[in-house]
């Protein structure tokens, strides 16, 4: 499967053997393969060492048991011999050899010529030296009417006078046990290695598949399909997180590009007019008499026009910057009332002069997280609007607290905005006043909305009966 | 007074040099950061007007190198980048004031003059005095011809700023920045009304006005006998 995936990008011009070789090389280079191989290696080494340890401990245990039994038996016989001499030894051997005790003990006492005197072995086993010491030999045993040759272990002794003693133990059971363990462990090892191989492959395949998903998506995005996203499988593991992050990044890029396109369109459509107006003014100044005063006036108005254009440009750039989110976060914990108080204080004299009554009503301790600079600007835009369009009466700034939301309201007593136009006024360059007799660029509310989005808040227009109520809502900062 | 203008755009540089020379300054010009650093290193300038984006060495790097060399000539940074973030970066790099391009020449001149004066400030004062107008920074009181004048806290700060820059033009933007800490220009003439209210209080019942409007530029607080700027 791994190789199959890697086959896909291969080009047909390759000859088959070269392709297989090339793919094998590429397979070796993939991270997934290396990971699988490493996984398998670690798995195999650990399984093998566990199995070897189990085998070694069990074999050693059986061997020790045999040794211990033999030692006990020899000690017992030596005590008998010390107390009762040779005859006592022969007697006890004869007694112990009688009947099948089922413990597999073997005894034999012979005279110096090797003629058996007592014991459960017929004759001194062939090939076993008669000089005493530890030894291994084979013995015959009758099992279910059949004579079998069993391995045995034991020790021989030369008793003074030339008599010989052989004490041994049939170790066929122990050997069988050891063989059984060996076979079991061998099978277990094979199964484990098989599982390891499968696990490694499955792991690498899964890994490769998910990397492949990311790769394909990024290729499609690069090919121009900007709205494509990496599929998530809902496990919220590292790969899901990676995919989610990539998707967020793509969202951001898409948003940036859309914002950029919008700004370009706006600039093309709405800045052309003032630019041509500027050009006409300068042209007229050039045509006019060279007496100075009218030319100075024309130049002055051209500068004003240029200033307005630049202000519009700056506002557009600020909006684009805010909407694309490229601006650095400068937010801090703020008391909304402070922001409102400061703006009210700045605007109060001008409002009074224009025949308004500017009032401030704040609930104490309404705190949010935000940028004082941006919020002051948003509030200033709303106050500018109210002063420009409401005509007179009361303008109120209110700071209040809703259900876990903080709100800042600016209300006036003017004509308000008709319901069907309350959404469009947020678009760039939209001005409801058809005559456009008051100065303004139609970007004030767009900027307010951009600032509110930046603060994860909302801006809503409502009827103040009569007048306009602009409500800015923020997530309240819980302290 | 000797100024250094570091600006790579020929047109803008010409305009700056012309305007500043006409305002009575001796002006040298550098076309890039390296040249600017070389000239400024002499330490013989009273102020530097510095473009932020320059070839070979950008303005902030040049300023950093200059400050590292222990030269503290006041510097005014000119930049097309106008967010608060950019402003803070510029001031942190060692700039003393920051002006966003495009700017009105009067604004540049007013700020430059404020910078040049700042270097001359000596001992911390507790009282500011312009003609017969007196402002006490400790008791926060204003008196003219020994008659107390009631001012609001914000008016006090406005007057303080005007008095500290007495005899020089301060622009509306400068007032917004220093008195209100607002770094944007409202569309309504909010500052004008504040100033005219202040003028009512300090000038109304006296024969010689102190607070003057400078057309197309801003405001100027000056003693009656001193000449117009």
Select from B187, B194, B197 the Cβ nearest to the Cβ of A439.
B187
Please state the rounded mean pLDDT for residues A124-131.
71
Among A451, A441, A377, which residue's Cα sits nearest to residue B184? A377
Give yes or no for residue A171 having a pLDDT over 60.
yes
Taking the C-alpha atoms of residue A402 and residue A394, their distance in angstroms, rounded to an integer, is 23
Q: Is residue B39 part of a domain?
A: yes
Task: Check residue B150 and give its pLDDT.
Answer: 92
Task: Check residue A144 and give its pLDDT.
Answer: 67
Task: Check residue A6 and give its pLDDT.
Answer: 43
Task: Check residue A20 and give its pLDDT.
Answer: 66
Question: CB within 8 A of B15, min separation 6: which ones?
Answer: B105
Select from B82, B85, B185 the Cβ nearest to the Cβ of A330.
B85
Contact flag B193-A349 (C-beta cutoff 8 Å):
yes
Task: Check residue A78 and give its pLDDT.
Answer: 84
Q: What mean pLDDT, rounded, does chain B reach?
A: 87
Higher pLDDT, B49 or A226: B49
Name the percent of chain B lying above pLDDT 70. Answer: 96
DSSP one-letter code for B177: I
CB contact A359 to B (< 8 Å): no
Read off the pLDDT band of A27 (50, 70, 90): low
User: Mutate which of B15, B99, B186 to test chain A, going by most A C-beta atoms within 10 A?
Assistant: B186
Same domain? B98 vs B156: no
Give yes or no for residue A156 having a pLDDT over 90.
no
Nearest-CA residue of chain A relative to B102? A310
- Residue B64's domain comprises 2-118
Read off the pLDDT band of A361 (50, 70, 90): very high
- List residues of B whose CB lies inside 8 A of any A CB: 82-85, 102, 104, 154, 180, 182-190, 192-194, 197
Contact flag A349-B189 (C-beta cutoff 8 Å):
no
| Winning range, highest mean pLDDT, from A153-157, A159-163, B80-84, B113-117 | B113-117
Residues of A in contact with B83 (CB under 8 A): 318, 321, 327-328
Nearest-CA residue of chain B relative to A383? B188
Q: Is residue B83 part of a domain?
A: yes
Higher pLDDT, A128 or A316: A316
Select from A327, A346, A353 the Cβ nearest to the Cβ of B83.
A327
Same domain? B6 vs B93: yes
Contact flag B187-A444 (C-beta cutoff 8 Å):
yes
Same domain? B146 vs B217: yes
Nearest-CA residue of chain B relative to A321? B83
Residues of A in contact with B154 (CB under 8 A): 345
Q: Is residue B201 part of a domain?
A: yes
Parallel, antiparallel, or unpaired: how do β-strands A468-475 and A405-411 relate?
Answer: antiparallel
Residues B55-99: tens digit of each pLDDT: 888 889 999 999 999 888 999 999 887 677 778 888 888 889 988
Same domain? B6 vs B109: yes
Same domain? B131 vs B67: no
Read off the pLDDT band of B117 (50, 70, 90): confident
Q: Is residue B25 part of a domain?
A: yes
CB contact A440 to B (< 8 Å): yes
Question: CB within 8 A of A109, min separation 6: which ones?
Answer: A89, A90, A93, A116, A117, A118, A119, A163, A164, A165, A166
CB contact A328 to B (< 8 Å): yes
Contact flag A342-B190 (C-beta cutoff 8 Å):
no
Contact flag A349-B188 (C-beta cutoff 8 Å):
no
User: Mutate which of A346, A371, A442, A445 to test chain B, going by most B C-beta atoms within 10 A?
Assistant: A346
CATH of the domain at B215: 1.10.10.10
Same domain? B101 vs B152: no
Residues of B in contact with A439 (CB under 8 A): 187
Residues of B in contact with A318 (CB under 8 A): 83
Q: Is residue B228 part of a domain?
A: no
End of a domain among B71, B98, B118? Answer: B118
Same domain? B112 vs B132: no
DSSP one-letter code for B28: E
Select from A328, A353, A384 the Cβ nearest to the Cβ of B85.
A328
End of a domain among B77, B94, B118? Answer: B118
Name the percent of chain A lying above pLDDT 70. Answer: 89
CATH of the domain at B80: 3.40.50.2300
Residues A88-104: tens digit of each pLDDT: 888 888 888 876 666 77
Give yes or no for residue A238 having a pLDDT over 70.
yes
Same domain? B134 vs B92: no
CB contact A383 to B (< 8 Å): yes
Please state the rounded mean pLDDT for residues A431-452.
78
Please state the rounded mean pLDDT for residues A165-170.
84
Exposed e or buried b per residue across B41-56, where buried means at least 16 C-beta atoms within 10 angstroms of its C-beta? eeeebbbbbbbbebee
pTM exceeds 0.80 = no
A322/chain B closest Cα distance in angstroms: 11
Q: Is residue B90 part of a domain?
A: yes
Please state the rounded mean pLDDT for residues B205-229.
81
Contact flag A327-B85 (C-beta cutoff 8 Å):
yes
Contact flag B189-A350 (C-beta cutoff 8 Å):
yes
Q: What total of structural domains would you count in chain B?
A: 2
Among A474, A380, A463, which residue's Cα sits nearest to residue B183? A380
Contact flag A346-B186 (C-beta cutoff 8 Å):
yes
Taking the C-alpha atoms of residue B123 and residue A337, their distance in angstroms, rounded to an integer, is 37
Residues A322-331: tens digit of each pLDDT: 877 766 667 8
DSSP one-letter code for A120: S
Contact flag B188-A387 (C-beta cutoff 8 Å):
yes
Contact flag B182-A380 (C-beta cutoff 8 Å):
yes
Contact flag B186-A384 (C-beta cutoff 8 Å):
yes
A220/chain B closest Cα distance in angstroms: 35
Please state the rounded mean pLDDT for residues B139-152.
91
Same domain? B167 vs B198: yes
- State phi, psi for A85 to the nearest 5 degrees: 70, -165
Residues of B in contact with A327 (CB under 8 A): 83, 85
Same domain? B27 vs B77: yes
A436/chain B closest Cα distance in angstroms: 15
Phi-psi label, residue B132: left if phi above 0, alpha if psi -120 to 50, beta otherwise? alpha
Task: Check residue B123 and give its pLDDT.
Answer: 62
- What is the CB neighbour count within 10 angstroms for residue A144? 5
CB contact A142 to B (< 8 Å): no
Give yes or no for residue A415 having a pLDDT over 80.
yes
End of a domain among B86, B118, B150? Answer: B118
Exposed e or buried b per residue across A6-40, where buried means at least 16 C-beta atoms within 10 angstroms of its C-beta? beeeeeeeeeeeeeeeebeebbeebebbeebeebb
* ipTM tops the 0.95 cut: no
Same domain? B131 vs B87: no
Same domain? B36 vs B141: no
**Choice among A50-54, A211-215, B17-21, B82-86 with the minimum mean pLDDT:** B82-86
Residues of A in contact with B182 (CB under 8 A): 346, 373, 376-377, 380
Parallel, antiparallel, or unpaired: how do β-strands B218-221 and B169-171 relate?
Answer: antiparallel
**Choice among A173-187, A215-229, A335-349, B82-96 with the minimum mean pLDDT:** B82-96
Residues A449-459: tens digit of each pLDDT: 999 988 889 99
């Amino acid at each position: 499967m791994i190789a199959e995936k890697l086959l896909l990008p291969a080009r047909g011009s390759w000859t088959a053997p070269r392709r297989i070789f090339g793919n094998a090389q590429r397979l070796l280079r993939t991270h997934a393969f290396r990971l699988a191989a490493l996984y398998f290696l670690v798995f195999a080494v650990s399984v093998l060492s566990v199995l070897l340890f189990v085998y070694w401990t069990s074999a050693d245990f059986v061997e020790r048991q045999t040794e211990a039994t033999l030692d006990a038996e020899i000690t017992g016989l030596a005590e008998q011999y010390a107390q009762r001499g040779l005859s006592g030894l022969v007697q006890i051997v004869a007694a112990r050899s009688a009947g099948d005790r089922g413990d597999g003990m073997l005894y034999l006492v012979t005279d110096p010529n090797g003629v058996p005197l007592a014991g459960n072995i017929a004759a001194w086993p062939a090939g076993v030296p008669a000089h005493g010491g530890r030894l291994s030999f084979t013995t015959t045993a009758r099992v279910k009417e059949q004579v079998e040759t069993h391995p045995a272990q034991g020790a021989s002794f030369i008793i003074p006078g030339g008599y010989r003693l052989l004490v041994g133990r049939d170790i066929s059971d122990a050997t069988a046990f050891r063989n059984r363990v060996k076979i079991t462990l061998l099978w277990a090892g094979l199964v484990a290695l098989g599982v390891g191989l499968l696990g490694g492959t499955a792991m690498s395949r899964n890994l490769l598949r998910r990397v492949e998903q990311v790769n394909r998506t990024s290729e499609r995005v690069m090919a121009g399909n900007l709205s494509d996203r990496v599929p998530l499988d809902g496990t919220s593991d590292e790969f899901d997180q990676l995919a989610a992050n990539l998707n967020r990044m793509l969202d951001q890029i898409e948003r940036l590009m859309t914002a950029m396109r919008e700004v370009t369109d706006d600039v093309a459509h709405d800045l052309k007019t003032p630019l041509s107006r500027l050009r006409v003014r300068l042209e007229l100044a050039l045509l006019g008499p060279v007496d100075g005063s009218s030319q100075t006036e024309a130049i002055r108005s051209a500068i004003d026009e240029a200033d307005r254009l630049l202000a519009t440009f700056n506002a557009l750039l600020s909006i684009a910057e805010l909407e694309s989110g490229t601006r650095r976060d400068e937010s801090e914990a703020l008391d909304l009332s402070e922001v409102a108080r400061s703006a009210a204080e700045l605007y109060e004299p001008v409002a009074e002069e224009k025949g308004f009554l500017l009032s401030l009503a704040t609930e104490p301790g309404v705190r949010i997280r935000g940028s004082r600079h941006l919020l002051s600007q948003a509030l200033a835009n709303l106050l500018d609007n109210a002063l420009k369009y409401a005509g007179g009466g009361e303008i109120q700034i209110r700071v209040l607290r809703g259900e876990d939301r903080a709100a800042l309201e600016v209300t006036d007593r003017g004509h308000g905005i008709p319901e069907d136009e309350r959404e469009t006024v947020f678009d760039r360059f939209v001005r409801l006043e058809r005559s456009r007799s008051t100065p303004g660029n139609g970007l004030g509310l767009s900027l307010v909305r951009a600032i509110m989005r930046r603060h994860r808040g909302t801006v809503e227009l409502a009827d103040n009966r009569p007048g306009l109520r602009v409500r800015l809502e923020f997530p309240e900062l819980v302290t | 007074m000797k100024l250094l203008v570091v600006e790579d755009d020929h047109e803008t540089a010409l305009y700056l040099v012309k305007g500043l020379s006409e305002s009575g300054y001796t002006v040298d010009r550098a076309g890039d950061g390296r040249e600017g650093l070389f000239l400024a290193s002499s330490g013989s300038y009273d102020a530097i007007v510095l473009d932020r984006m320059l070839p070979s060495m950008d303005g902030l790097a040049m300023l950093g190198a200059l400050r590292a060399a222990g030269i503290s000539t006041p510097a005014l940074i000119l930049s097309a980048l106008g967010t608060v973030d950019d402003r803070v970066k510029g001031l942190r790099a060692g700039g003393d004031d920051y002006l966003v391009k495009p700017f009105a020449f009067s604004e540049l001149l007013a700020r430059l003059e404020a910078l040049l004066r700042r270097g001359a400030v000596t001992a911390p004062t507790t009282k500011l005095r312009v003609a017969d107008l007196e402002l006490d920074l400790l008791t926060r009181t204003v008196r003219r011809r020994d008659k107390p004048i009631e001012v609001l806290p914000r008016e006090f700060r406005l007057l303080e700023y005007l008095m500290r820059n007495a005899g020089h033009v301060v622009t509306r933007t400068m007032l917004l920045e220093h008195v209100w800490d607002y770094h944007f220009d409202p569309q309504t003439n909010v500052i004008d009304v504040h100033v005219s209210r202040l003028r009512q209080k300090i000038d109304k019942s006296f024969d010689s006005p102190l607070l003057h409007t400078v057309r197309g530029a801003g405001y100027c607080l000056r003693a009656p006998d001193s000449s117009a700027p």
